[in-house]
């Protein structure tokens, strides 16, 4: 083993070092407690130390206390060397943090036995520390794998938005918070116009690019706290929290303007457009997320059928049958400019 000796008496230090070296140990010799403390701070510090109680600058007890104040996965095994043999002195040394003691003048056989006991403890601690590091590494790897799996199962590969599963998982959580806080929300169902024409005219690779560009526009339009998802194909859904009815038109107008800016700056041979259906969800809402999405979806398809309508909002109003269920109007927002191919 690598063993540190802290002994200010030159004769005792030499005798102890010679004995340990003859037994095959690597010895680090220090002359006082301060030197011992500095030696024990090094990365390759010995894991077993023999400290004299009475030393200048810093005694053995103070070294013990400072060592025990540090949190480490490889604690140092300390044998306190002392001429004091009273029970009170031994108890004081143990309270300071010593693991064992050896009285002066030391007996060689007693020293050997105590070193063997210390070596077993050090070996067990080292094995335990290595096992803990291994387990911590495994935990980190598992967390990374779980996070990667969670990301794969909740996000869409093409757009990076949430997928169908991700949306409904987060939306249910959002709905619980909204009901508890009493804040209204906005649900938008959006469908790209003319994706089939893009695929037919330019190929499915270009169609995928168009979907990714639309996702980028949606991400730019809505807040980081909003849930923006691609349900599949050319269909998107957005759930914005803490949105009142008088804010809906402004949000949809921002989406419309971002589409216009994109089309003006784009070098594509086509323009992007959306048909949308919007549902304002009041605090009294009793419908499930699936039912609300279905309402917004129907409003969106109504917009598809009424291509001449430029704007319109489907709002959540109390239903006649229950008094707290939202009812979607037949209108929905149609984003401009209209998707065309050229």
Concatenated DSSP letters of 88-100:
HHHHHHHHHT-SE
**Residue 233, phi-psi category: left (phi > 0), alpha (psi -120 to 50), beta (remainder):** left
Q: Measuring CA to CA, how many Å separate 289 from each of 77, 168, 185? A: 62, 7, 12
Q: Quote the crossing angle between the two packed helices 289-305 and 164-181, to the nearest 10°.
A: 110
* Domain residue extents for the chain: 2-131, 155-305
For the cut 50, the answer to whether the pLDDT of residue 298 exceeds it is yes
Calpha distance 38→46 (Å, rounded): 12
Q: What is the pLDDT of residues 70-127, one digit of tens each?
A: 877 678 999 998 887 777 877 888 888 899 988 888 888 999 999 999 999 988 888 8
What are the φ and ψ backbone dihedral angles of 57, each rounded to 5 degrees?
70, -50
Residue 17: how many CB atoms within 10 A of its CB?
18
**Residue 115, phi-psi category: left (phi > 0), alpha (psi -120 to 50), beta (remainder):** alpha
Where does 155-226 have alpha helices with state H? 164-181, 195-202, 204-221
Q: Which residues contact 340 (CB under 8 A, 6 or more apart)?
A: 194, 270, 271
The residue-averaged pLDDT of 10-37 equals: 92
* Contact of 79 with 98, CB cutoff 8 Å: yes
3 state SS of 82: strand
Tell me the two tokens of residue 79. 């044998």
Residue 152 β-bridge partners? none
Output the pTM of the full model: 0.52
For the cut 70, the answer to whether the pLDDT of residue 163 exceeds it is yes
Where does 222-315 have alpha helices with state H? 245-265, 289-305
Calpha distance 88→96 (Å, rounded): 12
Residue 240 β-bridge partners? 186
Calpha distance 155→173 (Å, rounded): 17
Nearest to 67 by CA among 97, 45, 43, 90: 97
Nearest to 184 by CA among 256, 253, 247: 247
Whole-number percent of the chain with pLDDT over 90: 45
Nearest to 236 by CA among 259, 257, 270: 259
The residue-averaged pLDDT of 220-233 equals: 94
Fold designation for 2-131: Rossmann fold (3.40.50)
Tell me the two tokens of residue 145. 């794998």
pLDDT of residue 17: 93
For the cut 80, the answer to whether the pLDDT of residue 337 exceeds it is no
Tell me the two tokens of residue 133. 């590091």
For the cut 60, the answer to whether the pLDDT of residue 308 exceeds it is no
pLDDT of residue 293: 93
Q: What is the pLDDT of residues 253-294, one digit of tens each?
A: 999 999 999 999 999 999 999 999 998 888 777 788 899 999
Tell me the two tokens of residue 103. 């009285």
Tell me the two tokens of residue 35. 């030197």
Work out the pLDDT band at 239, boundaries 50, 70, 90. very high
What are the φ and ψ backbone dihedral angles of 30, each rounded to 5 degrees?
-125, 155
Angle at 152 between CA 149 and CA 153, to 5 degrees: 85
Q: Which helix (H) or strand (E) holds 241?
A: strand 235-241
Q: What is the pLDDT of residues 131-143, one digit of tens each?
A: 888 888 878 877 7
CATH homologous superfamily of 155-305 equals Reverse transcriptase/Diguanylate cyclase domain (3.30.70.270)
Q: Which residue has the higher pLDDT, 153 or 179?
A: 153
pLDDT of residue 287: 86
Q: If you average pLDDT over every residue of the chain, what do you get? A: 83
């Amino acid at each position: 083993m690598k063993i540190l000796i802290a002994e200010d008496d030159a004769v005792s230090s030499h005798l102890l070092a010679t004995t340990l070296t003859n037994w095959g140990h690597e010895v680090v010799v220090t002359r006082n407690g301060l030197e011992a403390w500095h030696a024990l701070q090094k990365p390759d510090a010995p894991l077993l130390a023999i400290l004299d109680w009475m030393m200048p600058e810093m005694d053995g007890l103070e070294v013990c206390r400072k060592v025990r104040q540090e949190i480490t996965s490889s604690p140092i095994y300390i044998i306190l060397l002392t001429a004091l043999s009273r029970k009170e002195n031994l108890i004081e040394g143990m309270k300071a943090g010593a693991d064992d003691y050896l009285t002066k003048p030391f007996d060689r056989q007693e020293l050997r036995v105590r070193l063997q006991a210390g070596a077993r403890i050090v070996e067990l601690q080292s094995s335990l520390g290595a096992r803990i590091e291994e387990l911590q590494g495994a935990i980190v790897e598992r967390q990374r794998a779980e996070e990667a799996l969670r990301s794969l199962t909740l996000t869409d590969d093409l757009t990076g938005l949430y997928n169908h599963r991700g949306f409904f998982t987060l939306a249910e959580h959002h709905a619980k918070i909204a009901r508890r806080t009493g804040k209204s929300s906005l649900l938008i169902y959006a469908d790209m116009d003319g994706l089939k024409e893009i695929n037919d005219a330019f190929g499915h690779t270009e169609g995928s690019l168009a979907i990714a560009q639309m996702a980028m526009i949606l991400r730019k339009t809505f807040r980081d706290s909003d849930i923006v998802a691609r349900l599949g194909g050319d269909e998107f859904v957005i759930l914005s929290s803490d949105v009142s009815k008088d804010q809906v038109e402004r949000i949809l107008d921002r989406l419309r303007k971002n589409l216009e800016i994109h089309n003006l700056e784009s070098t594509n041979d086509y323009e992007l457009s959306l048909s949308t259906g919007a549902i304002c969800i009041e605090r009294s809402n009793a419908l499930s997320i699936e039912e609300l999405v279905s309402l917004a979806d129907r409003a969106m398809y109504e917009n598809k059928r009424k291509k001449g309508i430029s704007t319109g909002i489907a709002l959540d109003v109390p239903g006649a049958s229950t008094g707290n269920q939202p009812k979607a109007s037949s209108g929905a927002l149609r984003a401009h400019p209209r998707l065309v191919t050229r």
